[in-house]
Structure 1
Amino acid sequence: MSLRSTRPGSVRRLAPVAVGLVLAVGISACGGTTRDSSAGDTSGSTGAAAATANPDAPIREGLKIAFLPKQLNNPYSDIEAGGGQTAVTELKGDYKLVGPNDASASSQVSYINTLIQQQQDVIGIAANDPNAVCPSLNQARDAGIKVVAFDSDAAKQCRDVFVNQATTQGIGETLVKMTHDLTGGQGDIAILSATPNATNQNAWIAVVQEELKKPENAGMKLVATVYGNDDDQKSFQEAQGLLQTYPNLKAIVSPTTVGIAATARYVSSSSYKGKVAVTGLGTPNQMREFVKDGTVSQFALWNPADIGYLAGYAGAALASGQITGKQGETFTAGKLGKYTIGADGEIVLGPPTVFNAQNIDQFNF
């Protein structure tokens, strides 16, 4: 199964979702140490900028690749990490999963420091805050560790590449199009986001705001943006608050899997069912019951496992010297095929898929 369509510079093959079982490893903060650089490695951000890629370099076996998602025990993050584990296993590397149980801005810093101490070859991170993690990530790069941001970017000067789910513009446009379809292009709408500092959420919301300025969307008015902090209960309460505060609300748009599920759960058992549309970004398995009971007509997402999988292969390519993160460099990501690095080190997985009652049973993740 694949949620992508072929685009220039990227060859894709259909593949099933692979989600590995992952164990959270509790760790404490400690200082970083440098380690010996091996073939293809450079030391830190300055060296990375000056390095030369060798696309024919073999992938090193035994690479230590650690994944640091926004938080553990989050269904979406678990699927992403499972895809990363699949990639690292295929690459004959050493996979590690660490992370906080909350998605606060500074919660990831101590984990980065410990991964430096453990002399990892690659750190893959979905940043809770693009700047809070920056000093520690640059310490990792100075120690010769390659940094792959995925799903939610770190500041550009603090990582080597960023694996994006889809283009920011494409996701924002998809959110607005679904909302337009569901409301007929008229009425008050609200956004229930994750955390106030989430890089990806804020970028998508900025596109939504610009799209709403277009004449064809002028009938829709964004009356509020609230934050559930990717916590189920808080998101549930925020959805309830929106509906009580804005009695004329026509739609709640939640570009976060936790938020859309919590919103749908509240609406499904309330008098708002059938009156207020719920849409955003969610996984098919998470949203299936709400599509089946008529609470949600359509929502969108990509394959989260493929994000982690692509991040794993990008990290191995960096650590092996196949790529340095410069625009135009190419590498092959296993079953996903060939990818080309874009501007600012961005690697785009592919466009989102819109799910509805007609196609949702074709997907299982």
Structure 2
Amino acid sequence: MAAKNTGVRAVALAVLAALALAVSGCASEETPAAPQASAGASGSQAPAAIKEGLKIAFLPKAVNNPYFDASDNKGGKVAVEEFKGVYSQTGPSEASPSAQVSYINTLSQQGTDVIVVSANDKDAICGALNEARAAGAKVVTYDSDTNPTCRDAFINQASAEGIAASQIKLISEAVGPDGGEIAILSATANATNQNAWIEMMKTELAKPEYAKLKLVGTVYGDDDDQKSFQEAQGLLAKYPNLKGIISPTTVGVAAAARYLSGSEYKGKVQLTGLGTPNQMRAFLKDGTVKSFALWNPSDLGYLAAYTGGALASGMIAGKEGDKFTAGKLGEYTVGKDGAVLLGDPFVFTKDNIDDFDF
């Protein structure tokens, strides 16, 4: 992600160490630092570098989604090329657990070394993933996790607590001190990450400072633009006193913004969520949205690729305490249940939106 204003870029980097502001598609000309070695499970010294020629496939919730284009093609691909692997992206055109299963089976049959997957359901794809692992593949989840027993590592874009806290804070600030009714426009009903964030949002809303906010409903747009648009429209029809909508999905928040921007509710019903700058720029500038948040999706894919490469090379085992270096992003430590945390979400406003391009 290129920062047009170097001063703003420096501040963002200082605040969010994990949110690198370099465009993933324009990797540094410097040779990335070699991933650091760590002791293997047996105590022996692990390899010092990622093997060349590893086949690493990204399987997003759905292809042709701007978010996954950034994470996979502008992040994961860059990383794989850096350590001289073979990159590919494949997946269904619509978010479907059963469709993901067929792609996992195909990747396993093709002898893929690493499958990087954003799960449409935490349990439905587990059988296929474990079969792929038994056949020799390493499995890394990113964006949306499976049951921990079904993969080797999970790249968490931000903690559920951090995302929930930021979303409630942003909608509270947008709605104002009088509060009122709010609703959530989510992705699919079974999306692991969405459900975790929603539960944490409910916990956050129980705090005294948010006593004037009332969550009245949660609807699902299935990460489909038209359905998300219709669900946003439906919320306003069902809840005429609605003051705000939270949509923690890039497809949903952009669709809801598009609906609000052309309706009588523009400026009256507030919207926040998780979106990309290029999707949301116009809606910040025309006053439909005051602020929204996100991490750098290209960094998420980049980190997922390096984690998969380190696993497939025997550098780490995905156990708590394992350390490795993810190219330009620096050193990471594997946490509980094989989770690797990218960093905290970043808040975009009309004052900083033009400093970002992704």
Taking structure 1 as the reference length, the TM-score comes to 0.88
The answer on 1:297 being equivalent to 2:290 is: yes
For residues 52 and 124 of structure 1, do their structure 2 counterparts lie closer, same or farther at Cα, with a shift above 3 Å needed? farther
1:154 match: 146
Indicate whether 1:240 and 2:227 are aligned. no
CA displacement at 1:58 relative to structure 2:
2.3
| Matching of residue 93 in structure 1 with residue 93 in structure 2 | no
**1:69 is aligned to 2:75:** no
Aligned residue runs from structure 1 range 217-228, under 5 A: 217-228=210-221
Kindly indicate whether the alpha-carbon contact (under 8 Å) linking 1:4 and 1:350 is maintained by their aligned counterparts in 2.
no
SS at match of 1:295: coil
Q: Assess if the C-alpha contact under 8 Å between 1:137 and 1:158 holds in 2.
A: yes
Matches within 5 A, 1:117-266: 117-185=109-177, 186-266=179-259
Q: Is the 8 A contact 1:65 1:124 kept in 2?
A: yes
**1: CA distance, partners of 2:262 / 2:125:** 40
- CA shift in 2, pair 1:138/1:170, >3 Å: same
Could you tell me which of 19, 23, 27 is aligned with 1:17?
23
Matched with 1:110 is: 102
Instruction: Give the Å deviation of 1:12.
Output: 5.5
Equivalence for 2:33: none
Q: Give 1:18 shift.
A: 1.8
Shift of 1:154: 1.2
1:54–1:296: structure 2 CA closer, same or farther, 3 Å change rule? Answer: farther
The gaps in structure 1 that reach 5 residues or longer are 21-48
Distance in 2, Cα, partners of 1:142 & 1:51: 20
Amino acid corresponding to residue 337 of structure 2 in structure 1: D
Structure 2 unpaired stretches of 5+: 2-8, 27-39
CA distance in 1, matches of 2:46, 2:241: 57
Instruction: Give the C-alpha shift of residue 178 in structure 1.
Output: 0.3
Q: TM-score, normalised to structure 2's length?
A: 0.90
CA distance in 2, matches of 1:50, 1:140: 22
How far is the alpha carbon of 1:57 from its aligned partner? 3.1
Q: Describe the shift of the 1:102–1:260 C-alpha distance in structure 2 as closer, same or farther (beyond 3 A).
A: same
Q: Which digits, 9 at most, give the CA deviation of each residue in 1:85-115, with x for residues without a partner?
A: 1110111001111100010232200000000
Residues 19 and 299 of structure 2 are in contact (CA less than 8 Å); yes or no, is this contact kept in structure 1?
no
Tell me which residue corresponds to 2:31.
none
The C-alpha deviation readout for 1:229-285, integer Å capped at 9, x for no partner, is: 000000000000001110110001000000000000000011000100010000000
Contact 2:284 2:291 (8 Å CA) reproduced: yes
Partner of 2:32: none
Offset of residue 56 of structure 1: 4.4
8 A Cα contact 1:4 1:352, kept in partner: no
Q: Secondary structure at the match of 2:106?
A: helix
Q: Note if 1:306 corresponds to 2:299.
A: yes
CA contact (8 A) 1:57 1:321 kept: no
Give the superposition deviation at 1:14: 4.3
Question: Structure 2 vs 1, CA of residues 80 and 259 (structure 1 numbering), >3 Å: closer, same or farther?
Answer: same
| Closer, same or farther: CA 72–54 of 1 in aligned 2, 3 Å | farther
Q: Which amino acid aligns with 1:87?
A: A
1:274 partner amino acid:
G
Contact 1:55-1:330 within 8 A present in 2 as well: no
* Residues in 2 aligned to 1:194 and 1:106: alpha-carbon distance in whole angstroms: 17
Once the two structures are TM-superposed, the CA of residue 201 in structure 1 deviates from its matched residue by 0.4
Q: State the Cα distance separating 1:155 from its structure 2 match.
A: 1.0
Deviation at 1:6, TM superposition (A): 6.9
Question: 66, 69, 73: which one pairs with 1:78?
Answer: 69
Maintained 8 Å contact 1:302/1:351: yes
